[in-house]
Structure 1
Amino acid sequence: MAMHDDEIAITDDVVRELIGSQFPQWKTAPVQRVESSGTVNAIFRIGDDVAARFALRPRDVSVAAELLEREAEASRRFAEHSPFPSPQPIAIGHPGKGYPLPWSVQSWVPGSIAPVDIDGSVQLAHDLAHLISALRATDTEGRRFQGDGRGGDLPDHDEWVEECFDKSEGLLDVPTLRRLWSHFRELPHTSADVMSHGDLQPLNVLVADGRLVGVLDTGDFTPADPALDAMSGWYFFDEESRAVLRDELGCDDLEWERTKAWSFQQALGAIWYYVDTNPVMYRMGRLVLDRVVANTKV
């Protein structure tokens, strides 16, 4: 079942044709779709060392091309500053037979995607704190958060959250969640923006033996609210390990409360949108929302 009403169908044969016609150096390499619960791109492994990413939803071709260029530059910068491996951009492909948009090629990073119910260890909390601290130390070059995604002012998301409330009737305790959002949206944004991955949740993290070994989806490496990456505490950890992450990042009470707010905003949308189409995203949304609700008093 497709996750999106306008989802683009992408087959192995189409990918083989695009690879063979545009990048003959990989023409004979095996092509294998990567099973993933990701919601933005279909990922195909090309041979042993390369991955190709294809957007699942249509958009203007020129806009898509500009986005891929920006993502490539952000990924390069992320890789320069991350203490853990991340994909390196290699090339951008063009629209072709069977696929209407430009697409990207990047290096393959070995490791296993973290399970959504990971309940990570103290060691993983140290690793994530090390990663986030290194990203925060990267120069923002005077820039601040731009755009309409997570990482800026919480009230900017009122319309989206209201849509989520409407779609969640009968699925969640909406009156309680409305009270929480009324509290969260009033939290002031007083900290200076820092460089941020923007979506440090299990599907974007590679682990081995309980330790962090790689980071995926790095194309949104931009300045944002420091609480945005710190919200990973609600995605990965039980109370003990979450406290380790908070302590190592030096989150004060306001910043920590904003980690709950961003987690709430993201998890709320994942539940109703994916309830019938993506059980992994749905389960992650429920887990994170339950943690936030249980740890917030208003």
Structure 2
Amino acid sequence: MDRVAKLHDDEVEIDTSLVERLVAAQFPQWAGLAVRVVRASGTDNVTFRLGDELSVRLPRTESTQGQVEKDLIWMPRLAPHLPLPIPEPLELGRPGEGYPFSWGVYRWLPGEPLDVEKVDAVAVAGQLAEFVRYLRDVDPTGAPVPSGDPFERGTPLTPRDEMFREALDELREYFDVGRVLASWEESLAADTFEGPARWIHGDLMSGNVMVADGKLSAIIDFGTARAADPAGDVMPAWWLFHGDSRNAYRQALSVDENTWLRARGWALSLTMIAIPYYRDRNPDAISGGQEYVADLLSD
């Protein structure tokens, strides 16, 4: 039985046995299909393969539930306008078998998470930028919008300032505080977005950017998708790319200087604020954060 390791203190127990019971009880047409956990599952949801053609996604916590409902509305509307496959939700599962949240059955999308060391990174940067451009061009009428939560992507940096400085102070023995603050304050000075809001994915990290045969094959996990500041999808310049591929991504999106600085500030703040939370759970949080911040500040 595959039991999923917990990433959050308030996370529910999830394992293959639970998924088998949920599927058998609610979707008997798929009962008996092999269930196996996807080891690259994200921090908000756990994904399982269901047979060869399906997948099951279950929220880890109460605060991350509701994604399937959102996907059922928006994925069919976005998909026809995009150059790559995106999640295709098939069924909405109900709470049951001791599991308290709604969950979903999806079409399985083949591919592996992006590893820029194994592909032509400049070419992939261009492919991802093309996807972002197409997504931005979709009519945002009625789209989800930021709620005011300072952790929502595509929102202003200023509400994160206090959290950022507290985290940096806690981590001052590991970072060049003056240099980090100089970069952060440069981004704060560019923290003005006058619209119009555009569709953003908001979480184009390697686990959500799928690759097959050296090319992008799909984009998954639209949990942070909304109409917001396009800087939210400039962040992959630092999350995924380096050097020539970073420049290629910026040029393909025609990113102006203020948008570039806002995106860099978001990438920096996400890292600095997250390290204190994850360092007790992940022994590599400090060293990984140091390497990432050094690369970001070198830009």
The TM-score, its normalising length taken from structure 1, stands at 0.87
Give the deviation of 1:248 after TM superposition: 1.4
> How far apart in 2 are the matches of 1:157 and 1:118?
35
Q: Following superposition of structure 1 onto structure 2, how do residues 33-48 of structure 1 map, counting pairs within 5 Å?
A: 33-36=37-40, 38-48=42-52
Distance 1:143 1:43, change over 3 A: closer
Task: After superposing the two structures, state which structure 1 stretch, 83-92 or 116-125, moved more.
Answer: 116-125
Counterpart for residue 156 of structure 1 = 159
Task: After superposing the two structures, state which structure 1 stretch, 32-41 or 277-286, moved more.
Answer: 277-286
> How far apart in 1 are the matches of 2:111 and 2:8?
28
Distance 1:198 1:173, change over 3 A: same
Kindly indicate whether residue 283 of structure 2 is the aligned counterpart of residue 275 of structure 1: no
Distance 1:201 1:280, change over 3 A: farther
Kindly indicate whether residue 95 of structure 2 is the aligned counterpart of residue 95 of structure 1: yes
Residue by residue, what CA displacement relative to the aligned partner does 1:220-260 show, whole Å, maximum 9, x if unpaired?
A: 33111111112111122221111111111111111111221
> How far apart in 1 are the matches of 2:130 and 2:32?
40
Counterpart for residue 107 of structure 2 = 107
The one-letter amino acid paired with 2:171 is S
Give the deviation of 1:72 after TM superposition: 2.7
> How far apart in 2 are the matches of 1:116 and 1:76?
29
Gaps of 5+ in 1: none
Counterpart for residue 270 of structure 2 = 266
Gaps of 5+ in 2: none
Residue by residue, what CA displacement relative to the aligned partner does 1:44-81 show, whole Å, maximum 9, x if unpaired?
A: 1111111111111135xxx945x532233232333222
- Equivalent residue of 2:210, what SS? strand
Distance 1:175 1:119, change over 3 A: farther
Kindly indicate whether residue 215 of structure 2 is the aligned counterpart of residue 211 of structure 1: yes
> How far apart in 2 are the matches of 1:193 and 1:239?
29
Please tell me whether the aligned partners of residues 37 and 281 of structure 1 are also in contact (alpha carbons under 8 angstroms): no
User: What do you get for the CA RMSD once the two structures are aligned?
Assistant: 2.6
Task: After superposing the two structures, state which structure 1 stretch, 40-49 or 71-80, moved more.
Answer: 71-80
The TM-score, its normalising length taken from structure 2, stands at 0.87
Counterpart for residue 58 of structure 2 = 54
Match of 1:234 among 238, 249, 260: 238
Alignment coverage as a number of residue pairs: 291
Distance 1:109 1:144, change over 3 A: closer
The one-letter amino acid paired with 2:125 is A
Counterpart for residue 146 of structure 1 = 146
Please tell me whether the aligned partners of residues 18 and 96 of structure 1 are also in contact (alpha carbons under 8 angstroms): yes
> How far apart in 2 are the matches of 1:171 and 1:3?
23
Give the deviation of 1:24 after TM superposition: 0.4
Distance 1:209 1:278, change over 3 A: farther
Report % sequence identity. 34
Please tell me whether the aligned partners of residues 235 and 266 of structure 2 are also in contact (alpha carbons under 8 angstroms): yes
Match of 2:17 among 7, 13, 18: 13
Give the deviation of 1:116 after TM superposition: 7.6
Residue by residue, what CA displacement relative to the aligned partner does 1:100-136 show, whole Å, maximum 9, x if unpaired?
A: 1111111110000123877861110110111011011
Give the deviation of 1:272 after TM superposition: 2.9
Higher relative contact order (CA 8 A, sep 6+): 1
Counterpart for residue 183 of structure 1 = 186
Match of 1:253 among 235, 250, 257: 257
